[in-house]
Structure 1
Amino acid sequence: MTKQLLLLLLLCSSLIPSFSQMALQMASEEQEEGLYLRKSQEKITIDGQLDEAAWFTGRPAVDFWENFPSDTSRCAWKTEIYMTFDENNLYIGAKCYAPGNKYVTPSLRRDYRAGGSDNITFLLDPFRDRTNAFVFGMNPYGVMREALISNGGRSNDDWLGEWDNKWQGESAIFDDYWSCEIAIPFSTIRFPEGQVDWYFNSYRFDTQSNTRSTWQPIPQNQIIMSLAYMGNMQWEEAPTTNNSSISLIPYLSGATQRDYEEGLPSTSTFGVGGDAKIAVTSGLNLDLTVNPDFSQVEVDQQVINLSRFEVFFPERRQFFLENADLFGTFGDDQVNPFFSRRIGVSQDTSTGAAISNPIYYGARLSGKLDNNWRLGLLNMQTAKDDENGLPSYNYTVAALQRKMFSRSNLGFIFVNKQTFADLAGDTLNNAYNRVAGLDYNLASADNRWNGKFYFHHSFSPTQGKNPFSHGARVDYLERRYAFGMEQRYVGEEYDAEVGFVPRKNYWQINPRGELFFYPEKGPINRHGPRFRSRFLWTPEEGNTDRFMFLSWDISFTNNSRLSFDFGNEYVYLLEDFDPTNTDATPLPGATGYTYNRLSMEYNSDSRKTFSYRLEPTAGQFFNGYRYGLQTNITWRYQPLGQISLTTNYSYIDLPDPYASASLFLIGPRIDLTFTKNIFLTTFFQYNSQIDNFNVNARMQWRFAPVSDFFLVYTDNYNSLDWNVKNRSIVAKVTYWLNT
């Protein structure tokens, strides 16, 4: 019996290479047919080795196209992708050949950024709409990443949403290649029942050959995750999932904090709550949260604000991230009717930092109804916030999206913020605020044309003049050039309390254009001029803002980038304004200012152990001058982590009696990854504009899949006298349970 078993094992091991060779030959002959998956009859062990015969029974994805430094030929360094599946999981394996085994990784932290490191990424589009996709990635050290793409990955500004879910992955390093295997449970992703054809693509970064490559060819001036360029992925039989699958994610937390400025004693709190994920259908998911706690979320990176308007900070709370594009991408970056940070987050006026406002509960139903329709429903109830003068509010958002033509869609959104409290005598808060709107997102099949057209209307008890906004954007992208035009109008009384609208009562147009040149030889990969402009009018004053910006952008073959910029700006101040935002003597309103500036930006090769970014600026500023320098310096101690230092210095020189000021923002950051499951991030921020020094240290231990222990320490000091403002320490544990 033992001899027979040994002979059987020997036979299987000899067959695996031949299976692999046969699959590669089949793929070369039938590349146009795409990738083909056969069902596995054996257990797949996720160890990064690809040593099961089931990997090689289908048709793999091979013959990758080079995307960088050229995009006109096959990549010399081969990548092979194999797939199989069983009753519960989709399995993806890859072999990535390279000229050596000195791979680059910023750290062992999950959800790394792809640029500047070795990795491979897989894009899955189950509904074949080429506008939404699941992203899974691995690097040679077995570090995982996942995300969601919306709006087709049309540009760098599109939504690459953070997302955390349960799946497995491992990698292995060999002499001339590295390989990886991943297992994605069907309960993790959403897909249509009974469909055997999906879309798929993959891109790979190889630091040693200095190449980027993709399975389906993508032009170099298109974003590498563009869903306009997808290949076929055919299943032997349609996968199935348990539509009634439920995941429970309870948490326990404890915290102690003290407000030293108010002279209050230390207080301790204990929290319990959790989330639930329920698969309503194969494409639709229900997320529930009770007494959510976001204490483990990383602090915002502060900025020096020299503008007259609010600064945008991105959402970081996990509950709001999955399918966030369904709710958060209406309008544009300056007129957004729903900004999820308005829910459960207030602002500490002494530090400028975000502070938590308790949320009682929340529910979100989101996902695909079928191949053409997407639905999003959100409801949240917040607690009363006496300190910031806010009653308890209920927030409801409904969004519906219909695919049109090849990759475009029409969307509708309704946002309702309402309180049932008695607001008699309250002049700061409305009983309700509502916004309804339509958006048409344009995306051609080849992604040459894309844009947006929208109209939104607000409703409140104190309805005023012109309570609406509208906008349009059209961009055209070719290999040698690009041009675009944007228009925006925001009415005087357009009031989106749950949105991000930093300015009202204006009309604006933004023409822009760009040329691309591709040298055949030399150190430059691509270069060319870029023109951007902004013209803004108000009904009372006419043209109040004018901005014209001309730059020459250079991308080098070694991955570094350089740009030279000239800007001319005109600003008519409607009101008094202190450009330093330090409560100094303000410049007078009803006055116009014209000024010019020069700047340069250089980003070094991020593959190197030591990398940096420099951005000096000099020129006029209102009725004076401004000199500035922004830097980011990063040292990578592979694979344990990296240390970075971000600085922003602005010297503003205005004539008497107006303010002259030196503004500093210094932000050292230490990222340590002791293992793939234990991370320590320490973040220091000194901001002289708000007289604050912040310390935030966060330890994370992922003791089980998507289950974590967090220990977070936060300290704020007054940078003038170095007295403590406030201090807190939080411990939190979460655990993912599948039922």
Structure 2
Amino acid sequence: MGGAALGTVLFALTFMLGLPVALHASAPEGVAAAPAAGDHDDPPLVATRIPAGMQIRIDGRLDDEAWSLAEPITDFTQRDPVEGAEPTRRTEIRVLFDDDALYIGAFFDDDPEGVIAHQRRRNAGLGSDDRFMWILDTFGDGRTGYFFEVNPAGLMGDGIITPGSGASINKSWDGIWYVRTGLQPDGWVAEVRIPFSTLNFDPNLDAWGINFQRTIRRRNEEIIWRGWRRNQSLFRPVHAGRLEGLEGISQGLGIQARPYLSAAGDQAPSAGTGWDRDAKTGLDLSYSITPSLRAAVTVNTDFAEVEVDQRRVNLTRFPLVFPEQRDFFLEGSGVFNFAPSSGPRPFFSRRIGLVDGEEVPIRGGARLIGQVGRSEIGFYQLRTGTATLRAELGEEGAFEVPGEDFTVARLKQAVFQQSHVGAVYTRRAHASGPGADTPDRQTVGLDADFFTSSLFGRYNAQIEGFLVVHTDPLEGGWNRMGDHRTRGFRVNFPNDLVRFHASHRSFGTAYAPAVGFVPRRGFARTQPTLTIAPLLPSVDAIRRLQFSFFWEYLTDLEGQLLTRSANFTLLETQFESGDQASLEVKRGFERLLNPFTIRREADGPVVLDPGSYSTTEWELSGRTAGRRTVSGNASLVWGDFWSGNRRRVSGGVTARPLPGFSFSTNLERNEVRLPEGEFDTNLVRFNGSWDASPFTSFSSSIQYDDVSRIVGLFARARWIVRPGNDIFLVWTHNWLNADAVLGPDGEISERRRSFETLSRGGAFKINYTLRL
């Protein structure tokens, strides 16, 4: 069977297998039709309207008269450590509303001396703390929603829930809402106000999905209101309860203006340049066309406050992918998720406004994101300006990047209760500067995701498929489509005791979407994974054991074996304390078709010859629970590596001596011994932060690796004057720690003294948000 026919068969097979799965779970629309822990008749939570003349002061005390009008919910169920058991502590939740906002008042019975609250910085991970989480499914579709969390210290965390088989949350979304917390002799409280203007919602719904979950960290106890089975989750809105009674609510005029003012300066002494200073203003203006569909325009988009990427050492033949951190692209980004997240990536937002990690100015553009009925819509139209970027270390001069136009359109059509079919289109076109004869590059993709959380009554199952093609980047037009195409499917069974998935995908030899990301092409890959994770309730110290098997079989498009990998987790132990330990063994085969330069050394590059390589590698790892004042992790990898062997040692320590203070260090060392050459690599990272309050934070990081031989410092101060209004102060500094700089051929091209400043710069930025 030819490649084109195979791709068509695979994509059709996805629909043939997926339809019965989705139909098995099909039900009337709305959250009310979804089972919550096997019982869809659970009573709803009815929100109480605040009478005219009454007000709520968000002060973390719950002593306003209006709170006494709301009937609390207390019927929580333990999810961990004992599924379905009564919680060890009482939780009370009250919900009020007025025309403009939703209010949540929560009381958590506890011993104040046992409450753990290390973190204060917005969106910091709360795996170490007591916490209160809740979700709002404002479209009642059981697929999407908003996520919020707080801890006893008043930390605010939030995100967007996107459809999928697991807990897929975009936590970089920063909504505008308000919370205050407080300790009491009998526990702690949280008082929350969420403006309706922060949310997109369906104004015609008579009920939203809502759910609440509490973590008692010292016991590693999780209690939840609805959906308490381990196969369910807070992050799957289909298992949420119902919030009724919201009537007469408003987003106001639906207009939000977010102007900014920034001043920045940078210098590159190593290139002999002086200080380059710049001051600019810009604006993000959004309008809610409907309560569920929001349009925005941006002018002179600025990302001065964005943190630097974490440094990594790459000993593979393929490029690394770094996450998006810019707010403009993170808001509503879930609609652009395509097929399996590790799949073809026809749209990768870091292709816009970034070249090799260096910023290219975004002059302006428009965005449309939201829902119309059961359709999710996402659209970008952006223009970047020309830019002159410094060459990489070891290369001379600079290069000019042209201005370009980017178009991205995405449609997801919900089918049945938890499934969708979708399409994506991208276009990248020359706008100004060099390369005027570059043809437009276009990409079209189709995907399908059939998911159910009620297979045989209580199990999760999923089938996904995708097909993507793009135009010829050199000639333009839809030529040689087989070379510029990828397709595949995945079957997934993501459950608590047994998790299984199997996928098959293939990438054409010239597959390279202009606004996407692909690390490798010209191959076909089959990849099954099986994990078994039994609980051990009869063993006091151990909560769960885990065993897993991962297999990968990768060939070129002619069927020649390129990679074969079999990974076994022989034992992973999860202790009741929250500590973990595991032992893995990895058997691999790799065929090199071309020479591979794995490292450039002063005495010449280390080059692996074409041929076949078989390896066996072991890994022993462990980590301690994050709730401790001092916690850590460590990993030791040893065994075969290409034609020789490698030992990799990595680990980290985090200390939280006082609330709001955090210090951590992470180390990674590779010792590689090959017949072709020997070398070591080292990566060191130090992070420190002081969060004086949930609204004032000071953070810094220092990174060094001896591959680039660059020491990088990033420091940032942030003051949240009030949610939506921020002041940032940022400083970056990079030093070269080397006596010799290598040229592209691996030979010493230049001598320099150690710790010479390569670049440094600072920025000051003010954001202001006005809502009408």
Is 2:732 the counterpart of 1:714?
yes
Give, in angstroms, the shift of residue 643 of structure 1.
0.2
Counterpart amino acid of 1:440? A
Over the aligned positions, Cα root-mean-square deviation in angstroms equals 2.0
- Aligned equivalent of 2:80: 68
Q: Among residues 324, 334, 337, which one is paired with 1:325 in the alignment?
A: 334
* Bigger shift: residues 98-107 or 186-195: 98-107
Is 2:591 the counterpart of 1:565?
no
Distance 1:538 1:654, change over 3 A: same
Counterpart amino acid of 2:369? S
SS in 2 for 1:319: helix
- Aligned equivalent of 1:10: none
Give, in angstroms, the shift of residue 40 of structure 1.
1.1
- Aligned equivalent of 1:307: 316
Q: Distance in 1 between matches of 2:617 and 2:648?
A: 11
Is 2:275 the counterpart of 1:266?
yes
- Aligned equivalent of 1:84: 96
Q: Distance in 2 between matches of 1:85 and 1:514?
A: 44
Q: Distance in 1 between matches of 2:590 and 2:233?
A: 34
Aligned residues of 1:554 and 1:561 also touching (Cα < 8 A): yes
Is 2:481 the counterpart of 1:501?
no
Give, in angstroms, the shift of residue 330 of structure 1.
4.4
Q: What's the CA shift string for 1:266-320, capped at 9, x where partnerless? A: 2211111121222111101112211011011011111111111110100000001
- Aligned equivalent of 1:8: none
Aligned residues of 1:569 and 1:596 also touching (Cα < 8 A): yes
Q: What's the CA shift string for 1:217-262, capped at 9, x where partnerless? A: 3333655523232111111x42422463211111111112111221
Aligned structure 1 segments of 4 or more residues deviating by more than 6 angstroms:
422-426
Q: Distance in 1 between matches of 2:341 and 2:139?
A: 26
Give, in angstroms, the shift of residue 483 of structure 1.
1.5
Distance 1:200 1:493, change over 3 A: same
Give, in angstroms, the shift of residue 192 of structure 1.
0.9
Counterpart amino acid of 1:637? P
Q: What's the CA shift string for 1:398-456, capped at 9, x where partnerless? A: 11111111201111100111114586697xxx321111111111220336102421101
Give, in angstroms, the shift of residue 51 of structure 1.
2.1
Is 2:748 the counterpart of 1:726?
no
Q: Among residues 374, 382, 385, which one is paired with 1:380 in the alignment?
A: 382
Q: Among residues 474, 480, 503, which one is paired with 2:491 in the alignment?
A: 474
Q: Among residues 427, 443, 448, which one is paired with 1:435 in the alignment?
A: 443
SS in 2 for 1:585: strand
SS in 1 for 2:489: strand
Q: Distance in 2 between matches of 1:136 and 1:424?
A: 46
Q: What's the CA shift string for 1:541-600, capped at 9, x where partnerless? A: 701001110002221111111111100111111221133466953434431101011001
Equivalent positions of 1:12-91 (< 5 A) are 32-41=42-51, 42-91=54-103
Is 2:626 the counterpart of 1:606?
yes
Aligned residues of 1:63 and 1:74 also touching (Cα < 8 A): no
Equivalent positions of 1:362-511 (< 5 A) are 362-370=365-373, 372-387=374-389, 388-421=399-432, 430-446=438-454, 448-460=460-472, 461-462=474-475, 463-464=479-480, 465-511=482-528
Q: Distance in 1 between matches of 2:669 and 2:337?
A: 32
Give, in angstroms, the shift of residue 104 of structure 1.
2.0
Distance 1:480 1:135, change over 3 A: closer
Q: Return 5+ residue gaps in structure 1 as ranges.
A: 1-29, 348-353
Counterpart amino acid of 2:101? N
Counterpart amino acid of 1:359? I
Q: Distance in 2 between matches of 1:523 and 1:79?
A: 27
TM-score by length of 2: 0.87
Equivalent positions of 1:194-273 (< 5 A) are 194-220=204-230, 224-235=234-245, 237-242=246-251, 244-273=253-282
- Aligned equivalent of 1:678: 696
Give, in angstroms, the shift of residue 507 of structure 1.
0.2
SS in 2 for 1:674: strand
Give, in angstroms, the shift of residue 467 of structure 1.
1.3
Aligned residues of 1:112 and 1:145 also touching (Cα < 8 A): yes
Aligned residues of 1:544 and 1:571 also touching (Cα < 8 A): yes
Aligned residues of 2:486 and 2:507 also touching (Cα < 8 A): yes
Q: Distance in 1 between matches of 2:92 and 2:269?
A: 59
Distance 1:617 1:48, change over 3 A: same
Give, in angstroms, the shift of residue 329 of structure 1.
3.5
- Aligned equivalent of 2:751: none
Q: Among residues 89, 104, 119, which one is paired with 1:107 in the alignment?
A: 119
Q: Return 5+ residue gaps in structure 2 as ranges.
A: 1-39, 390-398, 739-753
- Aligned equivalent of 1:22: none
Instruction: Give the number of equivalent residue pairs.
Output: 695
Q: What's the CA shift string for 1:678-722, capped at 9, x where partnerless? A: 211110001111111101111111123221111111111112121
Aligned residues of 1:615 and 1:631 also touching (Cα < 8 A): yes
SS in 2 for 1:393: strand
Percent identity between matched residues is 25
Q: Among residues 139, 143, 168, which one is paired with 1:131 in the alignment?
A: 143
Counterpart amino acid of 1:737? L
Distance 1:100 1:676, change over 3 A: closer
Distance 1:614 1:239, change over 3 A: farther
TM-score by length of 1: 0.91
Counterpart amino acid of 1:554? T
* Bigger shift: residues 213-222 or 595-604: 213-222
